Amino acid sequence: MTGQRPRTCAACGRGIAAREVYYRFKLVLEGEQDVLDTPGGGGGDDLAALVRQLEEGPEDVRELEEQVHWERAGVVCTACRSVVVRMLAPSSENSGPH
């Protein structure tokens, strides 16, 4: 098998042999907010002030962008697939995190 790069599980870091089953994933987290808290009720001036505050703030632009849109893709091994599916599947028993 020439030309095939070894695959590594994005979750556990284990190498995945060419003969093993692996699973591709693409995960996109996009921030949303239904109501914007602005002092004056959300008028144009308030939004312009908020944009100005963000532009002048000390935060790194990339960090702010990742808070709104975060995307990753890769492969996981069979064992990690089970964990990911269990974490992301709705559960009627436990509504808490993890």
- Asked whether residue 62 is domain-assigned, the answer is yes
Q: Are the C-beta atoms of residues 32 and 68 closer than 8 Å to each other?
A: no
- Asked whether residue 35 is domain-assigned, the answer is yes
Residues ≥6 apart with Cβ < 8 Å to 4: 18
- The domain in which residue 58 lies consists of 27-71
Average pLDDT over the chain reads 83
More confident site: 96 or 34: 34
Helix, strand, or coil (residue 13): coil
Q: Residue 1: which pLDDT band, with cuts at 50, 70 and 90? A: very low
Q: Is the pTM of this model over 0.75?
A: no
Question: Residue 50: what are its φ and ψ, rounded to 5°?
Answer: -65, -45
Q: What is the pLDDT of residues 32-62, one digit of tens each?
A: 888 766 555 555 677 788 778 778 888 787 8
- Count of structural domains, the chain: 1
Return d(Cα 28, Cα 10) in angstroms, integer: 15
Return d(Cα 47, Cα 62) in angstroms, integer: 21
- Asked whether residue 43 is domain-assigned, the answer is yes
